[in-house]
């Protein structure tokens, strides 16, 4: 290495690390040698130096080669070429490098080195690369010929059909093989991209595209350009199952809802938007709702609340397998349901919507400092402060119902839509039809810009121009397949799309795979939501689930609980009680919850009600002081690192005047009831929330 440094400072730069092919490799050695010889001669460098430089070159190449893990054969070839070069340099310096003899001999050496390199593995690599490049060049030539033909054909077609003379600047073939995109320049004189868009159907017909394929125009890079996406293969015709990769998602980076005609996924960004999914009976709406719930279940910062007054069928497959203990996580642990709250009755739906409104209002007050700190009026959503997505099946019908009860729900739904955007609560409403009365609602028109119309070939109640105002040329018969239709978002203009097919086995898989990933409602929101939320899995409140479970008829006694079969059934236990008991056990086991003597359940005069509550540790002690709740939130937020009494006390001192001693008391209680664990000793002692605690053998 010292040679290299010395050489660097006082000689020509020899690039040892540069990638050399058989020809450039030889050139490098020979030109390097030539440079040294000329420099050497000009500066009267003693000829011995050239030999040293050659040796350095050989060494340098060897070292670099070793680093690059070149084959031994290649290394030898490289090192040898430097030594030969050094020999020439010595000779040339004594005779003058600019003589023909010297130059000729150098060229010979170069050829010799090249010949040697040719036999080395390095050359093989280079040859492969070269062959690959030639092949690519050939493909590119063929492709550009094809592209030129397409460009000419479509410029001609647009002229004929739209009466506009465009210049096609580029043709991009889609990697999925399902079509291509044209980038065209509009002629001067006021032609707009929408003029081409309006003729989409006629362009498709003129191009004789297969059924279900379209030529869709969208704005180009500026207003004088237009992009035309042409599908040539109908991927909507095929059934594609929900992608089997269930990795984490975020509401901030978009949730995939299906795929476009080019087979690319289409994302819904719902941090600020609500959504409206219209699909008549049989169009694949239920399936679409499941794939939407799948996306939300995968998200790390979303809690899904489902309202389905139609026997809760939209949410049950996400709840029952988990509640009944039918599925387990990979580690054999019980799993949490794939949705966080399911309402199948009017009362439950009303309770849920009231809780949502309370959360929105309370978050607005309680998170003022967070908003100020982040300098935003949009609550920063993350795992600790999750977004609540309310999925309301046939919610649009609730909105336009004249029934007195439904009107009440409608008002609450509209209130959530109206007040809760900034505070991270958004809705997905489905509708059987895109009727004027649904879309006539200003709130829906303004807030629900993520829109889906599942056509499935249905024409009834399907006014696409109302769903997607300002667009023409959309025809219901372009997507006559179940689960297919049109989707538009503020980021992705309306175009054909299809939902993935998702079956119960995948719903179970996703429930299991995402169980650990679901966030827990932040303490501020849980407090606002109150017992209506904390006791959402109570026996009386979930009784309807059993009534509507498909198993109820076949087995005669409701849910087939694995827990039930294990039970000592000396006393007859109702299936729903058993289900809830099993679920509570699972939750307790997983979240380290313990019966809290201070919870309302324990005070309740009704022992049945007392046994029916769910007591998540994050919600413990509704009556705890705000300071104590905040301390618990800090402990939870500290994650596996944990925190200490002093740090918590410091954080609470200003707002609540809490002393370290008080915090020490709380921490002791939490350690005793296993809400927290103490790790480390003495000054290193820290407290970790049970949810983040390292597993102990005892656990
Ligand atoms: N994305 C899809 N890909 C392929 N097939 C689908 C898709 N979506 C739905 N289907 C088919 O259509 C059938 C009906 O779907 P689904 O139950 O979701 O419709 P729906 O509109 O909710 O109808 P209903 O209101 O009658 O329940 C499914 O059983 C399935 O065979």
221 and 300 in a single domain? The answer is: no
Lowest mean pLDDT among 147-156, 441-450, 678-687: 678-687
157, part of any domain: yes
Q: Provide the greatest CA pair distance for the chain.
A: 113
Top mutation candidate among 242, 287, 496, 498 for ligand 1, by most atoms within 8 Å of CB: 287
Q: For residue 52, what pLDDT is reported?
A: 54
CA–CA dist 427, 412 (Å, integer)? 12
The answer on 296 and 266 residing in a single domain is: yes
Q: Which residues line ligand 1 (CB under 6 A)?
A: 239, 279, 281-287, 482-483, 498-499, 501
3-state secondary structure 490-548: CCCCCEEEECCECCHHHHHHHHHHHCCCCCCCCHHHHHHHCHHHHCCCCHHHHHHHHHH
Cα of 482 vs centre of ligand 1, distance in Å, is: 6
Residues annotated in the binding site for ATP, as ranges?
A: 279-286
Q: Which of 576, 598, 616 is the last residue of a domain?
A: 616
Q: Other C-beta atoms within 10 Å of 560: how many?
A: 15
- Over the stretch 530-571, which tens digit does the pLDDT of each residue have? 999 999 988 788 888 876 554 433 333 333 222 222 232 233
Q: Which of 231, 265, 284 is the last residue of a domain?
A: 231
Please write the tens of the pLDDT for every residue from 606-649. 333 333 333 333 333 333 577 888 888 888 888 888 888 888 88
In a domain, 135, yes or no: yes
Q: Looking at residue 446, which CATH number applies to its domain?
A: 3.40.50.300
How far is ligand 1, taken at its centre, from the CA of residue 502, in Å?
Answer: 10
**Which of 514, 545, 577 is where one domain is finished?**
514
- Burial of 91 per CB tally in 10 Å (0-12, 13-18, 19+): middle
484 Cα nearest atom in ligand 1: 1
Report the nearest atom of ligand 1 relative to the CA of 289: 18
For residue range 215-237, list pLDDT tens digits in order.
Answer: 989 899 999 999 999 989 888 88
Residue 413 lies in a domain: yes
Domain containing residue 597: 537-616
Residue 499 Cα, ligand 1 centroid: separation in angstroms?
10
pLDDT in tens, 663-688: 888 888 888 777 888 888 777 778 99
**CA triplet 520, 365, 490: central angle to 5 degrees?**
70
One domain, residues 352 and 449: yes
Q: What is the CATH number of the domain that holds 683?
A: 1.10.10.10
Gap between the Cα atoms of 238 and 236, Å rounded:
5
Q: Answer yes or no: is 250 within a domain.
A: no
CATH of the domain at 203: 3.30.980.40
Q: Which atom of ligand 1 is nearest to the CA of 498?
A: 1
Which residue has tokens 């073939």? 173
Q: Are residues 580 and 677 in the same domain?
A: no
Of 596, 590, 636, whose CA–CA distance to 613 is shortest? 596
456 with 490, same domain: the answer is yes
Q: Is residue 527 part of a domain?
A: no
* Cα 238 to ligand 1 centre (Å): 14
Q: Are residues 93 and 136 in the same domain?
A: no
- What distance in angstroms lies between residue 466's CA and the mean position of ligand 1's atoms? 24
Q: Whose CA is nearest to atom 29 of ligand 1?
A: 284
Residues 275 and 379 reside in one and the same domain: yes
Residue nearest to atom 13 of ligand 1 (CA): 284
One domain for residues 330 and 442? yes
CA angle 443, 448, 452 (to 5 degrees): 140
Q: Which residues contact 469 (CB under 8 A, 6 or more apart)?
A: none
- Say yes or no: 152 and 135 in one domain: yes
Residues 270, 398 within the same domain: yes
pLDDT at position 10 is 36
Is residue 240 in a domain?
no
Q: Are residues 463 and 499 in the same domain?
A: yes
Minimal-distance CA residue to ligand 1 atom 7 = 483
Q: Is 73's pLDDT higher than 70?
A: no
pLDDT over 90 at 198, yes or no: yes
Radius of gyration of the chain (CA): 35
Candidate from 293, 432, 483 with most ligand 1 atoms within 8 A of CB, to mutate: 483
Same domain, 389 and 480: yes
Residue 133, CA distances (Å) to 130, 142, 172, 175, 391 in order? 5, 14, 20, 19, 52
Residue 167 lies in a domain: yes
Q: Which ranges in 68-214 belong to alpha helices (H)?
A: 72-95, 100-118, 121-162, 193-197, 200-206
ipTM above 0.90, yes or no: yes
Instruction: Provide the annotated binding site.
Output: 279-286
| pTM higher than the cut 0.80 | no
**Residues shown for the chain:** 699
Average pLDDT of the chain to the nearest whole number:
76
Number of structural domains in the chain: 5
Whether 237 maps to a domain, the answer reads no
What spacing in Å lies between the alpha carbon of 456 and ligand 1's midpoint?
9
Q: Each residue of 492-542: pLDDT tens digit? A: 999 889 999 999 999 999 999 999 999 999 999 999 999 999 999 887 888
Handedness of CA 304, 308, 314, 317 (dihedral sign): positive
């Amino acid at each position: 290495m010292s040679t290299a440094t010395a050489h660097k400072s006082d000689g020509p730069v020899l690039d040892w690390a540069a990638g050399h092919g058989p020809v450039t490799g030889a050139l490098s050695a020979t030109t390097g040698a030539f440079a040294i010889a000329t420099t050497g001669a000009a500066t009267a460098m003693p000829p011995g130096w050239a030999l040293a430089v050659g040796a350095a070159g050989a060494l340098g190449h060897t070292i670099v080669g070793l680093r690059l893990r070149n084959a031994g054969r290649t290394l030898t070839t490289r090192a040898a070429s430097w030594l030969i070069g050094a020999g020439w340099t010595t000779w040339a310096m004594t005779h003058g490098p600019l003589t023909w003899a010297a130059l000729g001999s150098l060229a010979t050496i170069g050829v010799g080195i090249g010949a040697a390199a040719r036999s080395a593995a390095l050359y093989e690599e280079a040859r492969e690369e070269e062959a690959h490049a030639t092949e690519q060049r050939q493909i590119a030539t063929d492709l550009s010929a094809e592209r030129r033909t397409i460009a000419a054909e479509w410029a001609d077609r647009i002229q004929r059909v739209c009466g506009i003379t465009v210049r096609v600047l580029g043709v991009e073939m889609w990697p999925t093989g399902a079509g291509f995109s044209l980038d065209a320049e509009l002629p001067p004189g006021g032609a707009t991209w929408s003029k081409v868009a309006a003729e989409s159907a006629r362009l498709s017909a003129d191009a004789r595209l297969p059924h279900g394929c379209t030529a869709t125009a969208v704005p180009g890079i500026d207003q004088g350009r237009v992009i035309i996406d042409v599908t040539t293969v109908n991927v909507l015709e095929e059934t594609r199952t929900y992608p089997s990769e269930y990795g984490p998602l975020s509401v901030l980076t978009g949730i995939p809802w299906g795929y476009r005609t080019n087979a690319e996924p289409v994302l819904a960004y719902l941090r600020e938007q609500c959504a409206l999914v219209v699909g008549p009976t049989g169009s694949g709406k239920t399936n679409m709702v499941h794939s939407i719930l799948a996306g939300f279940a995968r998200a790390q910062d979303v809690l899904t609340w489902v309202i389905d007054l139609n026997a809760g069928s939209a949410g049950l497959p996400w709840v029952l397998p988990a509640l009944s203990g039918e599925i387990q996580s990979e580690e054999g642990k019980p799993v949490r349901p794939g949705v966080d709250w399911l309402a199948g009755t009017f009362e439950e739906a009303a309770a849920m919507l009231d809780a949502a409104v309370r959360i929105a209002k309370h978050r607005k007050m309680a998170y003022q400092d967070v908003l100020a700190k982040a300098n935003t009026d949009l609550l920063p959503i993350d795992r600790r402060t999750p977004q609540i997505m309310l999925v309301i099946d046939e919610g649009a019908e609730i909105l336009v119902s004249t029934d007195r009860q439904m009107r009440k729900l409608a008002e609450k739904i509209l209130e959530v839509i109206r007040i809760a955007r900034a505070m991270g609560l958004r809705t997905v409403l489905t509708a059987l039809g895109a009727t004027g009365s649904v879309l006539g609602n200003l709130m829906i028109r303004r807030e629900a810009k993520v829109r889906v119309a599942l056509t499935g070939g249905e024409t009834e109640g399907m006014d696409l121009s109302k769903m997607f105002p300002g667009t023409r040329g959309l025809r219901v018969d372009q997507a006559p397949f179940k689960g297919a239709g049109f989707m538009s978002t503020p980021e992705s203009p309306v175009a054909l799309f299809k939902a993935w097919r998702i079956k119960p086995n995948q719903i179970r898989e996703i429930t299991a795979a995402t169980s650990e990933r679901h966030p827990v409602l932040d303490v501020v929101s849980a407090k606002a939501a109150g017992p209506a939320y904390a006791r959402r899995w109570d026996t009386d409140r979930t009784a309807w689930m059993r009534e509507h479970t498909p198993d109820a008829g076949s087995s005669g006694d409701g849910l087939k609980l694995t827990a039930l079969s294990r039970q000592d059934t000396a006393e007859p236990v109702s299936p729903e009680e058993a289900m809830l008991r099993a679920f509570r056990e699972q939750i307790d086991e997983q979240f380290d919850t313990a019966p809290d003597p201070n919870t309302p359940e324990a005070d309740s005069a009704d022992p049945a009600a007392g046994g029916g509550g769910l007591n998540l540790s994050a919600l413990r002690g509704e009556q705890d002081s705000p300071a104590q709740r905040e301390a618990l939130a800090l402990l939870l937020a500290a994650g596996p690192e944990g925190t200490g009494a002093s740090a918590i006390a410091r954080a609470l001192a200003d707002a609540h005047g809490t002393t370290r001693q008080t915090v020490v008391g709380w921490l002791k209680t939490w350690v005793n009831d296993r809400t927290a664990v103490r790790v480390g000793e003495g000054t290193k002692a820290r407290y970790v929330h049970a949810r983040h605690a390292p597993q102990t053998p005892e656990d």
